[in-house]
Structure 1
């Protein structure tokens, strides 16, 4: 029995007819949905990991809601720094609010516990997990010591040693200490930085995906970061009893497919 789910992040949807960074982000999300329909229709669910709307307008959330209604699998949601919690709830409903007061959630499925954390804080670009959320996280982890856990949130906690480290979760110790109370954290998956990365930090596995908006190159000394129109990227997670694998699908690629002699036409 294999757990299968999709993670999308950094959708930055704008109202119909409006662009973000020259991109029609709603149209890009439609391409993501089409990719899920074509390739991942048997997945157990999809997670939207924050920065759903670029400017947090209710009309952007209305457009988002209409597009994801075409997904053939359940959708679970948390928020990022571009989101407006009140505007999101006005469209999606108060049922998304957890006892923490934020858009946090637990999903128990196929021998796994998936925990979504809302790391957004009004007026801040960096990530924040409040004391009440850490207490809630510890309790949810304590309930699930008999199974592997995957945590999904918008902001990365680990440093990537690039410029965007100034907008990660800047005070991660309470979060890390909570995670370490569990014997089998399989992945901590985030978006936010618009690039793909993997890391082991303090003995825990961290992953970021590029997401659906523009993607970034890695900034190095004397090599400034560039913003690129593509790819649009989702993650596809496969979980078994003894392994957890994160694959990346560039559903917007921008490269022509190469056919060589002997390939099927």
Structure 2
């Protein structure tokens, strides 16, 4: 059986700063301790984007020190809050694939796990996969027709009928077209939205984990009208990670809370609300 952990939305800040009132490095420290103690048998860990809150070098240096405490191999990719050149300056340019992005392919226990870098900061929240990345993904899928596949990226690949639908992956149909060429893609797993969801899009199963930052209580579009306006409630927690278990027949994704605080955060902590 293949077992791996996904951490997402870490939003690490430079020393002495908080992110919306939260000490995100302390939250990551708790997550790392939880993984080492509870899931020390995992094959690897994926950190699925929004590693830093504003892409600062000082934040990436703190992140690098902290994730080195993980007892398992670790793969990192980026989200909309990240800055790729700054990240590569700190972690090393050799982490970039031939696409220039932090795309990875991991073959383990009869599975292919593909990690995609959907960071495009100029889009102000949404994500993008370049044509080079989609071509790279197509090749990786074509070379894995004999095994099941799990895909991990930061941005969600379909609308959720919530207020954040304007910051999903740009042109998700292009990704779905490529993914659909493989007969056995068992999960597409994302972070980004700070809430837990699951569903299918054109027959492809997906889910999202809440991640390590604040959590959103979504206000849903109703059958009688659009998504309500106004700020959504945001809670201090839970801090959440995903445990992915893959055997010959199935993929199961457990959402586990390494931090169980659920206090509503004051609206004035979010100046852009």
TM-score class, shorter: over 0.9
Residue of structure 2 aligned with 1:236, choices 231, 239, 243: 243
Residue of structure 2 aligned with 1:250, choices 252, 257, 264: 257
For residues 256 and 165 of structure 2, the distance between their equivalents in structure 1, rounded to whole angstroms, comes to: 25
Could you say if the C-alpha distance between residues 222 and 167 of structure 1 is closer, same or farther in structure 2, counting changes exceeding 3 Å? closer
Kept in 2, the 8 Å contact 1:158–1:206? The answer is no
What residue number does 2:19 align with?
20
Kept in 1, the 8 Å contact 2:8–2:191? The answer is yes
For residues 87 and 22 of structure 2, the distance between their equivalents in structure 1, rounded to whole angstroms, comes to: 22
For residues 108 and 73 of structure 1, the distance between their equivalents in structure 2, rounded to whole angstroms, comes to: 15
For residues 107 and 207 of structure 1, the distance between their equivalents in structure 2, rounded to whole angstroms, comes to: 20
What residue number does 2:268 align with?
none
Matches within 5 A, 1:145-156: 145-156=145-156
Cα drift, residue 219 of structure 1? 1.2
- Structure 1 length-normalised TM: 0.94
What residue number does 2:32 align with?
33
For residues 218 and 249 of structure 1, the distance between their equivalents in structure 2, rounded to whole angstroms, comes to: 20
* Structure 1 segments of 4+ aligned residues over 4 angstroms from their partners: 221-224
Kept in 1, the 8 Å contact 2:142–2:182? The answer is yes
Kindly report the root-mean-square deviation, in angstroms, between the aligned alpha carbons of the 2 structures: 1.1
Moved more, 188-197 or 114-123: 114-123
What residue number does 2:271 align with?
none
Structure 2 residue 124 is matched with structure 1 residue 117: no
**Secondary structure class of the residue paired with 1:123:** helix
Cα drift, residue 172 of structure 1? 1.1
For residues 143 and 222 of structure 1, the distance between their equivalents in structure 2, rounded to whole angstroms, comes to: 45
Runs of 5+ in structure 2 lacking a partner?
A: 221-226, 263-273
What residue number does 1:53 align with?
52
What residue number does 1:169 align with?
169
- How many residues align? The count is 254
For residues 103 and 158 of structure 2, the distance between their equivalents in structure 1, rounded to whole angstroms, comes to: 20
**Secondary structure class of the residue paired with 1:63:** helix
Cα drift, residue 222 of structure 1? 4.8
For residues 202 and 54 of structure 1, the distance between their equivalents in structure 2, rounded to whole angstroms, comes to: 33
Cα drift, residue 191 of structure 1? 0.5
Kept in 1, the 8 Å contact 2:81–2:121? The answer is no
**Secondary structure class of the residue paired with 2:183:** coil
For residues 122 and 191 of structure 1, the distance between their equivalents in structure 2, rounded to whole angstroms, comes to: 16
For residues 241 and 86 of structure 2, the distance between their equivalents in structure 1, rounded to whole angstroms, comes to: 25
Kept in 2, the 8 Å contact 1:4–1:44? The answer is yes
**Secondary structure class of the residue paired with 2:47:** strand
Could you say if the C-alpha distance between residues 155 and 222 of structure 1 is closer, same or farther in structure 2, counting changes exceeding 3 Å? closer
For residues 228 and 241 of structure 2, the distance between their equivalents in structure 1, rounded to whole angstroms, comes to: 30
Kept in 2, the 8 Å contact 1:164–1:193? The answer is yes
- Structure 2 length-normalised TM: 0.91
For residues 94 and 210 of structure 2, the distance between their equivalents in structure 1, rounded to whole angstroms, comes to: 28
What residue number does 1:65 align with?
64
